[in-house]
Amino acid sequence: MVSESERDSSSRIPNFFKLDVKERVRALHERGLITDSDLRALETSDHTLKLHIADKMIENVIGVLGLPVGLGLNFLVNGKDYVVPLSVEEPSIVAGLSGAARTTRLSGGFEATTTDPILIGQIQVVNLDDPERRKQELLDRSEEIINLANSLHPKMLGRGGGAKDIEVFLHQAPEDGRQMLVVHLLVDTRDAMGANVVNGMCEGVASLIETISGGKVFLRILSNLTDRALVHVRARIPVQNLEVKGFSGDQVRDGIILANDLARVDRYRAATHNKGIMNGVDAVAIATGNDFRAIEAAAHAYAARDGHYRALTRWYRNDEGDLVGEIEMPMKVGTVGGSLETNPTVRINHRLLGSPNATELASVMGAVGLAQNYAALRSLTTAGIQQNHMTLHARSVASTAQVPEEHFDTVVEALIESGDIKVWNAREILKRVQNNTAVAQGTEPRSYASGKIILLGEHAVVYGRPALAAPIPLAVEARVVDSADTILLIPRWGIEQRVPPMSENPQGLAGILALLLEQLDLASRSLTIEAFPNVPRAMGLGGSSALAVAVIRALSNHFKLDLSNERINELAFECERAAHGTPSGVDNTIATYGSTLLFENKEAPSFQEVRPAKSVSIAIGISGKESLTATTVARVRQAWERQPERYERIFDQIGDLTRAGTEALRDGAYQELGELMNLCHGYLNALQVSTPELEELIHIARRRGAAGAKLTGGGGGGSVIALCPDGAEDVVDAMQNSGFEALAFDLV
């Protein structure tokens, strides 16, 4: 058994989705989330339900049906971390839940409360002479009925549970108008699911109820409408945490509220809305051996409790403008007995959760329901849920086509782009990729280019102040080989596409490359361009400029064009202009020359090379959220237009910090430079271009000894940099252990 003290307290496991299954299992073991025996069982598939055991569970057994078990990460419920096991075959649920949980934990996670785990047993009484009088007599002798019920299950009473109360209801039959009484026996079943206990109690008190009522007991069975065992969960998400590519936080918030409002008034939408909630809840119920059918029945009956079927959730805006979500639903679950004792995988799943009691498990499942609802509504109101399903469907098709791991992401990307997500198409794409890769794996040397970081001066540089930028060495490598068709391959970014001629009006990367080939008089040549980026896309690290420079150099080398650095820089600038409209020229210049530069653009752009006095380590923390440079630049522009004098003073301060930082870099005064970086980040934060993820990374870096840390680039996502005179290893490890990507290099 894993003790609480031995368990890692965090539910965030860095890059978990990138690991293979065996690596994921070992990561759980290393964090103390599973035992040694669990590790062996999972590695050998010894945890699955055996046929001879299944044969004892139900009748006419012929086999065992398996379901995937995935993990929902990042869950923080009532201040406690949970790794949540999910057994489900539908794609997107696990990923959506983990993403939603990560968003909510930035503002404190989920707050959950539960009522006592009460299950209702019903005893139907007919053939009554005076129903109203008999009802009162049953209520008057309720203590006698309760005591008899508890005498049948003394162990349950000893655990603090047992029968607690009775209720009596009078009903009239719709067919013949006869009257009947229904006695509700309210039983606290503690950590047990409780069906057998309650049914046994109903049977046991039936004769006493007949004696008191003078009637005849007919049905005696539990009710699956467990509206006395409720869970209520609440989450608050600040609007800045809701931004996604192409949508502001305000738009996402208002869209979620509007979609939820429809489900509160329209039963057709409510059915789909609540089904989405149960996608998550059922997955936990199955994984933990609970009766998902009973939980489903209770949820839908509760949704119609006032005679109108409606959404189980409520999303609204609070006074601060935050998005607030709430869910209330029946959640009667168990953590002992039943299939928990029968299915080995269920036992492992309970240990993954930290062996919770029934009310704690109910809290987690309620949080999963609210998280799943948030994930679905956000997808519906932004890029659309279909795109997420399409990606996962493409992965499933690629798996069916037996695409090898080294080409898997490339084939998936091409399937989505083609719009024809079929097994035959996956196999055709795989053949093309393998042919092109075989060609590209020759002895052709690689060309390279640098990425970039901004040490000081973001945003102020747009208003004529200086910016200090430094290169990330070998950010992108590239090579060119002759082939049957012109193809761009970037396996690490999942890109494999044909580059058509300009006459076909290609767009995006293909369009930029087609323009470049035309300018170099290479449009008639067939070739494969393969790029190897060592930095992620759209994270504010100059990846697009580095790609352009590396490809231009590779073309120059392969076709012996002897392009000068000056010409390479000009061509890369044209590529940047085609991609971004009005680039500053910093990214392509650093990508070309690989030098630290002080850049200023008053009447005309000027670059001054800056040589550090000695090398120093730089750590880069990557938020995983795309840098929204255009959005943040526009936001700062709007603020500047409203209060130009105020913002000019801020830009002057950033400019002064940049000049002082340049001198500190030249002198090797790295503690001074770190302090200037911290101050600069303070101004950038005041400009509202930081994000919670960036702030978390900066806090991690400073806590682990960085002399200074700040965002780099436009903000709104992207990356942070940390100056580490004593080495970057501790900072990088801390960032990775907190679930972020990180890398380091030496600035020389």
Q: One of 291, 600, 693, 696 is an active-site residue; which one?
A: 291
Ranking 9-13, 23-27, 424-428, 459-463 by mean pLDDT, the lowest is: 9-13
Q: Residue 243 pLDDT > 80, yes or no?
A: yes
Q: One of 80, 164, 232, 275 is an active-site residue; which one?
A: 275
Of 393, 451, 455, 402, the residue nearest 430 (C-alpha): 402
Question: What number of H helices and E strands is found in the chain?
Answer: 26, 21
pLDDT value at residue 723? 98
Q: Work out the average pLDDT over 10-17.
A: 80
- DSSP assignments along 589-612, one per residue: HHHHH---EEEEESSSEEEEE---
Q: Residue 688 pLDDT > 50, yes or no?
A: yes
**What's the pLDDT band for 390 if we cut at 50, 70, 90?**
low
Tell the residue number behind the tokens 């996962």, with chain if given.
392
Q: One of 23, 30, 46, 90 is an active-site residue; which one?
A: 90
| 124-164 pLDDT, tens digit each | 999 999 999 999 999 999 999 999 999 999 999 999 999 99
| 283-341 pLDDT, tens digit each | 999 999 999 999 999 999 999 999 999 999 999 999 999 999 999 999 999 999 766 67
Ranking 201-215, 455-469, 484-498, 627-641 by mean pLDDT, the lowest is: 484-498
For 331-481, where are the alpha helices, taking DSSP H only? Answer: 339-342, 344-352, 358-381, 385-400, 405-418, 423-440
The continuous run of DSSP H or E covering 28 comes out as helix 21-30
| 411-422 pLDDT, tens digit each | 887 777 666 788
% the chain with pLDDT above 70: 94
pLDDT value at residue 505? 82
More confident residue, 548 or 444: 548
Q: Residue 6 pLDDT > 70, yes or no?
A: no
pLDDT value at residue 98? 94
pLDDT value at residue 28? 93
The continuous run of DSSP H or E covering 692 comes out as helix 692-703
Q: Name the average pLDDT for the chain.
A: 90
Pick the CATH number of 447-609 from 3.30.230.10, 3.40.605.10, 3.40.50.720, 3.30.460.90: 3.30.230.10
For residues 255-289, one letter each, b for 16 or more C-beta atoms within 10 angstroms of the residue's C-beta and e for the rest, the string is bbbebbeebbeeeebbeebbebbbbbbbbbbbbbb
The DSSP call for residue 20 is -
Q: Work out the average pLDDT over 474-497.
A: 82
Q: Residue 531 pLDDT > 80, yes or no?
A: yes
Q: One of 389, 574, 656, 733 is an active-site residue; which one?
A: 389
pTM > 0.75: no
Measured between alpha carbons, how far is 353 from 7 in angstroms, rounded to an integer?
Answer: 11
Do 149 and 201 touch, CB atoms closer than 8 A?
A: yes
Return contacts of 482-485, CB within 8 angstroms, 24+ apart. 482/439, 482/525, 482/526, 482/527, 482/528, 483/436, 483/439, 483/440, 483/526, 483/527, 483/528, 484/435, 484/526, 485/526
**What's the pLDDT band for 383 if we cut at 50, 70, 90?**
low
| 459-470 pLDDT, tens digit each | 998 899 999 999
Tell the residue number behind the tokens 């690989």, with chain if given.
594
Q: Work out the average pLDDT over 689-710.
A: 94
Measured between alpha carbons, how far is 387 from 393 in angstroms, rounded to an integer?
Answer: 10
Q: Work out the average pLDDT over 545-553.
A: 93
**Cα–chain center distance at 4:** 25
Name the burial class of residue 481, with classes exposed (0-12), middle (13-18) and buried (19+) by CB atoms within 10 angstroms of its CB: middle
Tell the residue number behind the tokens 């940049």, with chain if given.
658
pLDDT value at residue 57? 85
Measured between alpha carbons, how far is 676 from 660 in angstroms, rounded to an integer?
Answer: 8
**Secondary structure string (H, E, C) spanning 413-453:** HHHHHHCCCCHHHHHHHHHHHHHHHHHHCCCCCCEEEEEEE
Q: Residue 401 pLDDT > 70, yes or no?
A: yes
pLDDT value at residue 490? 83
Do 697 and 740 touch, CB atoms closer than 8 A?
A: yes
The CATH number of 118-223 is 3.30.70.420
Q: Does domain 4-115+229-383 match CATH 3.90.770.10?
A: yes
More confident residue, 490 or 687: 687
Q: Work out the average pLDDT over 513-531.
A: 89
pLDDT value at residue 55? 87
At residue 490, the 3 state secondary structure works out as strand
Q: Work out the average pLDDT over 485-499.
A: 79
Do 466 and 600 touch, CB atoms closer than 8 A?
A: yes
- Residue 275 annotated among the catalytic residues of the structure: yes
State the Cα torsion 622-371-413-399 to the nearest 10°.
Answer: 120
- DSSP assignments along 108-120, one per residue: T-EEEEE---EEE
Tell the residue number behind the tokens 């004892």, with chain if given.
56
- Residue 22 annotated among the catalytic residues of the structure: no
What architecture is the 616-747 domain classified under in CATH? 2-Layer Sandwich (3.30)
- Residue 291 annotated among the catalytic residues of the structure: yes
Q: Work out the average pLDDT over 16-24.
A: 85
